[in-house]
Amino acid sequence: MQFLIESGDVLLEGFLATLRMLALTFLLALPLGVVLAVMRISPVPSLRWVATGFTELLRNTPLTLVFFLLVFVMPRLGVIIDFQFSAIVALTLYTAPFFSEAIRSGVNSVPVGQAEAARSIGLTFGQTARHVILPQAVRSVIPPILNVTIALTKNTSVAGGFLVFELFASSRRLANAYANETILIFVVIALCYLAITIPLGRLADALEKKVAVLR
């Protein structure tokens, strides 16, 4: 336990960096996911195609490759951005399609008759989406959204291999400094991730109970 006493600050710094990355990515990726989902259910074909293309491309590319493109390829093309920022962009681009698909599945759970009824009383597509479909979809969207967020928490560790200091990187730093305590270090790091993901899971359960509807 020597490393906790002497280098607890390294661990804390890594933990906070991971939390910060998680929060920023969530705040950027969720709105982007909503936009993508709305584009995919919109009546305009070109919007549907763009959103579908983006979703399929990013969702089926390994996250490591997305990072590689942003951190090593973009600078060669003259786009030089801060590594912290690159990590947020990579995570956002990769996570938004997952959010979008989660939202779309929630929308698909709303009976189609609701949309038909809304259109029949003269609401526009925008109004139908905003006032009828999405409020009902929210209920079934919450669990998958939190699932994606839990996956995102773990995905932030990829940034540790791309010049960003976070929880996973702090484990490697500590393992080198305290070579005789490596197993304990990895256990503590794992507990730090659980300290983020388990409350998220609990939150999901609570929210779900709150907005549950009997169908």
Partner 1 sequence: MRIRRNKTTLLTAVGAALLLGLTACAPAGSAGPGGVDDSGDAPATGDGPYNLEIAESPEFEEGTTMAELAEAGTLRVGTKFDQPLFGLQGPDGNPVGFDVAIAALVAAELGIPFENIEWSEAISSVRESFLETDQVDIVVATYTINDARKERIGFAGPYFEAGQSILVAAGNPEGIEGPEDVEGLPVCSVEGSTPAATIADEYGAELLAAGAYSDCLDPLRNGQVVAVTTDNVILSGFVDQNPGEFELVGDTFTEEPYGIGVPLGDDAFRTFINDVLEEAYEDGTWARLFEETAGVVLDTPEPPAVDRY
Which positions lie near partner 1, rule CB under 8 A? 65, 68, 72, 75-76, 80, 83, 160-163, 165, 169, 172-173, 175-180, 182
Task: Write the single-letter amino acid at 64.
Answer: T
**Shortest reach from residue 67's CB to partner 1, in Å:** 11
12 vs 44, which CB is nearer to partner 1? 12
125 vs 186, which CB is nearer to partner 1? 186
Task: Write the single-letter amino acid at 123.
Answer: L
Task: Write the single-letter amino acid at 54.
Answer: F
- Nearest Cα neighbor of 96 from 137, 37, 40, 39 is 37
> What are the phi and psi torsion angles at 40 (to 5°)?
-70, -25
**Shortest reach from residue 161's CB to partner 1, in Å:** 4
30 vs 164, which CB is nearer to partner 1? 164
**Shortest reach from residue 45's CB to partner 1, in Å:** 30
Backbone CA torsion sign across 182, 188, 193, 198 = positive
**Shortest reach from residue 75's CB to partner 1, in Å:** 4
Joined together, the tokens standing for residue 180 give 């005789």
Q: Determine the Cα–Cα distance for residues 147 and 92; give it in Å rounded to an integer.
A: 16
**Shortest reach from residue 91's CB to partner 1, in Å:** 17
76 vs 209, which CB is nearer to partner 1? 76
129 vs 159, which CB is nearer to partner 1? 159
**Do residues 102 and 151 lie in contact, with contact meaning Cβ atoms separated by under 8 Å?**
no
